[in-house]
């Protein structure tokens, strides 16, 4: 590792693994078909006697509708940039790895529908490198996403990318109708060291 990267004492230092937030430029085109997909497929109840449902997990390569290709193509186009932002304040070997080795892809994904009075418990997605949440429908007053105790407000068309190891949850909310697609990202093979 480059000794110049060993200690980063830079002005404007931010925390490593700060979640990255993006607004989807295609949201108006993909929102309704993706909501329909989640509502049609969401049959797995999360917990006992809850009003929260999810779709069965899908492989990142299995994309049922055209809008999956649009959304996931856009997300995958942002992953190297996001990881660069996560790593720039770390001493990770990733910082000096060749560009040809900086490959990421969506490993799996699922849709979620939240009923009133429901959130999620604190959890993480380790060992996946990254995780994401894309928000399709966010009724007024719906709860934020909490990542490592940082509150991030969710809005329609918002994508939040964060480290798969980071603990996150959604506080219980009295608002019904929240709809999202969540997923995990894997790191590709390392070549040409």
Domain boundaries along the sequence of the chain: 21-187
Q: pTM of this prediction? A: 0.87
Here the contacts of 78-83 (C-beta below 8 Å, separation 24 or greater) are: 78/20, 78/22, 78/159, 78/161, 79/104, 79/105, 79/130, 79/161, 79/185, 80/104, 81/20, 82/20, 82/130, 82/161, 83/129, 83/130
Residue 127, preceding peptide bond in cis (omega within 30° of 0): yes
Rounded distance between C-alpha atoms, residue 174 and residue 9, angstroms:
44
More confident residue, 30 or 90: 30
Residue 158, SS3?
strand
Is 22 in contact with 77 (CB distance < 8 Å)? Answer: no
Rounded distance between C-alpha atoms, residue 32 and residue 66, angstroms:
12
Q: pLDDT tens, 40-85?
A: 998 866 665 567 788 999 999 999 899 999 999 999 999 999 998 8
Enter the DSSP assignment of 149.
Answer: T
pLDDT at 13: 41
Q: pLDDT tens, 126-144?
A: 999 999 999 999 999 999 9
Rounded distance between C-alpha atoms, residue 51 and residue 116, angstroms:
7
Rounded distance between C-alpha atoms, residue 46 and residue 55, angstroms:
10
More confident residue, 99 or 177: 177
CATH of 21-187, one of 2.30.30.240, 3.40.47.10, 2.60.120.620, 3.40.1410.10: 2.60.120.620
């Amino acid at each position: 590792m480059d000794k110049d990267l060993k200690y980063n004492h830079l002005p404007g230092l931010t925390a490593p693994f700060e979640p990255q937030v993006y607004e989807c430029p295609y949201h108006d085109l993909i929102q309704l078909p993706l909501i329909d997909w989640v509502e049609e497929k969401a049959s797995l109840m999360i917990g006992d006697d809850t009003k929260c449902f999810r779709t069965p997990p899908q492989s990142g390569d299995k994309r049922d509708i055209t809008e999956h290709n649009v959304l996931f193509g856009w997300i995958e186009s942002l992953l190297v940039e996001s990881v660069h932002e996560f790593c720039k304040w770390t001493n990770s070997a990733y910082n000096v790895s060749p560009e040809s080795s900086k490959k990421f892809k969506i490993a799996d994904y699922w849709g979620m529908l939240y009923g009133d009075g429901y959130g999620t418990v604190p959890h993480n997605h380790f060992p996946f490198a990254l995780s994401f949440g894309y928000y399709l429908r966010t009724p007024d007053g719906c709860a934020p996403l909490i990542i490592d105790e940082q509150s991030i407000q969710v809005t329609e068309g918002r994508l939040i990318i964060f480290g798969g190891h980071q603990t996150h949850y959604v506080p219980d909310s009295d608002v019904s109708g929240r709809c999202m697609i969540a997923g995990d990202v894997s790191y590709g093979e390392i070549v040409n060291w």
